[in-house]
């Protein structure tokens, strides 16, 4: 087998369609994802994955809007920080600030669209590629370890496991992003009601746009809930 044939086969595997799993498997992975999001003790651990998506959203939109990305830090308390340079105001800064809380849900929605179209392998490889790109900008050891572990999981599942396991993993990840994206805006709202998080993304957006932080918090809720409804419908109807 020559290298061109191997490359062609690999490309066809990535972009090709995979069979849809049974509805019961999709429902079970959704239940597992819900169990990973709901109990507080479990959420303290699994929230790290949502933080990766949150900070990755800030970073990606910062680059797309022409800002210079200085680095990303992920912390063991599930907080994170993305630092970029550029104009301190304007549409680029607004989009960058708005991307964090919406990123997990929108990534989940995009993943649901790929799964509904039968592109399970493309989703797994695409996620691994995004994590690899993010790793370059990580600036602390804990953050690097978290991203490496997450990326390794996608690579190992896509390379070593059969179609059913790949499908279960992919659907579980997408359900987790959709469900996990709903909880942080509620947590932010609770903190703000008790006088906490004065420099939250919603408060930064309020200062940038002169639109109240409550509006931006509502925006985060709308995006997360609409993504969950739309993504869930696509996956269950596939």
Q: What is the average pLDDT score of the chain?
A: 93
Q: What average pLDDT score do residues 74-78 get? A: 96
> Residue 9: pLDDT above 70?
no
- The 3-state DSSP class for residue 210 equals coil
At residue 176, φ and ψ (nearest 5 deg) are: -65, -45
Q: Is the pTM of this model over 0.85?
A: yes
pLDDT at 13: 62
At 138, is the secondary structure helix, strand, or coil? Answer: strand
Report the pLDDT averaged over residues 21-40: 96
The greatest distance separating any two alpha carbons of the chain, rounded to the nearest whole angstrom, comes to 65
CA distances from 150 to 72, 89, 226 (A): 16, 33, 26
> Do the bridges between strand 80-85 and strand 68-74 make them parallel or antiparallel, or are there none, so unpaired?
antiparallel
Confidence band, pLDDT 50/70/90 cuts, at residue 3: low
SS (H, E, C) 55-85: HHHHHHHHHHCCCEEEEEEECCCCCEEEEEE
Q: What is the pLDDT of residues 163-211, one digit of tens each?
A: 999 999 999 999 999 999 999 999 999 999 988 888 999 999 999 999 9
């Amino acid at each position: 087998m020559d290298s061109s044939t191997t490359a062609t086969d690999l490309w066809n595997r990535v972009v090709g369609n995979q069979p849809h799993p049974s509805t019961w498997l999709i429902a079970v992975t959704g239940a597992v994802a819900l169990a990973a999001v709901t109990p507080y003790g479990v959420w303290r651990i699994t929230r790290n994955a949502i933080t990766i998506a949150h900070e990755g959203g800030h970073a990606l939109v910062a680059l797309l809007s022409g800002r210079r990305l200085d680095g990303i830090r992920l912390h063991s308390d599930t907080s994170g920080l993305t630092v970029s340079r550029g104009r301190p105001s304007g549409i680029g800064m607004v989009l960058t600030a708005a991307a964090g809380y919406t990123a997990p849900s929108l990534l989940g929605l995009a993943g649901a669209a790929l799964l509904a179209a039968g592109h399970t392998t493309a989703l797994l490889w695409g996620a691994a590629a995004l994590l690899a790109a993010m790793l370059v900008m990580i600036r602390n050891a804990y953050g690097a370890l978290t991203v490496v572990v997450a990326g390794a999981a996608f690579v190992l599942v896509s390379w070593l496991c059969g179609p059913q396991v790949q499908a279960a993993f992919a659907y579980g990840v997408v359900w987790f992003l959709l469900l996990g994206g709903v909880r942080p805006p509620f947590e932010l709202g609770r903190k703000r009601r008790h006088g906490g998080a004065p420099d939250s993304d919603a408060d930064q957006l309020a200062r940038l746009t002169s639109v109240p932080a409550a509006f931006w918090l509502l925006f985060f809720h709308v995006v997360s809930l609409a993504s969950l409804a739309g993504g869930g419908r696509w996956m269950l109807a596939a």
